[in-house]
Amino acid sequence: MLSHMILTRRAHGPDEASSASCMIRNLRSVAGMAIACTALATAAAAQSSPEATAMTAEALSAAPAGILATATVSDLEGNILREGTSDYTCFPAPNGLAGPMCMDAEWRRWMAAWMGGKPFKAERVAIAYMLAGDGPDGGASNIDPAAIQPATDNEWVVEGPHMMVITPDPAAFAGLPTVIETDGPYVMWTGTPYVHLMVPVAGRPEQRSVPTN
């Protein structure tokens, strides 16, 4: 309203017109700052909401001590809940699959390929962390990257705390177990672009029941 009054007010000379123009610019600057501050406040409120706080805690439960304070935290839609300074980003668990996880850039590239069903080849050795293990309603098939539920023929496993390793040369995994009935590391998704080494660091929780019909 004030800017409209300044615009329509009759100027009685060049000095007065210049003053009015200056006031308009100042008002626009103040308005822009107000809009920016409102946007920042809204984003901060969203990041500090109880839901965001819970998701952040869940995501960071996957992290080792070395990246706990420096990892970025994101929800599953890509909204940043906490900015970090390391290469790692931690995510809460997807519903009904796996558990919370922390991934570096190479693993995030792997994740994008897996979720999109696209080819993938690692460019370097990379490690992902799932130190909270899989959720009780999570887990994954050891042989089928596309499986989303346990079945009698897909070797579904709910894994405890573990790390995962990818490498540019999957032949480096040759000779390691490819079955889940083992007491150490094993290779998951052998023969697919998403092959990786599972490295359990603690015991497995109770397994999900497998439908028989």
Question: Which of these, 159, 151, 165, lies nearest to 181 by C-alpha position?
Answer: 159
Instruction: Please state the rounded mean pLDDT for residues 179-192.
Output: 96
Overall pTM surpassing 0.85 (yes/no): no
Burial label, 173 (beta-carbon count in 10 A; 0-12, 13-18, 19+): buried
Per the CB < 8 A criterion, the answer to whether 6 and 20 are in contact is yes
At 20, the pLDDT band (50, 70, 90 cuts) reads: very low
Please give the Cα distance from 102 to 73 (Å, whole number).
Answer: 9
Residue 193 has pLDDT above 80, yes or no: yes
What are the CA-CA distances from residue 23 to residues 5, 8, 120, 148, 203 (Å)?
A: 11, 13, 58, 62, 69
- What letter does residue 170 receive in the DSSP assignment? G
Has residue 6 got a pLDDT over 60?
Answer: no
Q: Is the per-residue pLDDT at 117 higher than 80?
A: yes
Is residue 160 within 8 A of residue 200, CB to CB? The reply is yes
CB atoms < 10 A from the CB of 206, how many? 7
Amino acid at 21: S
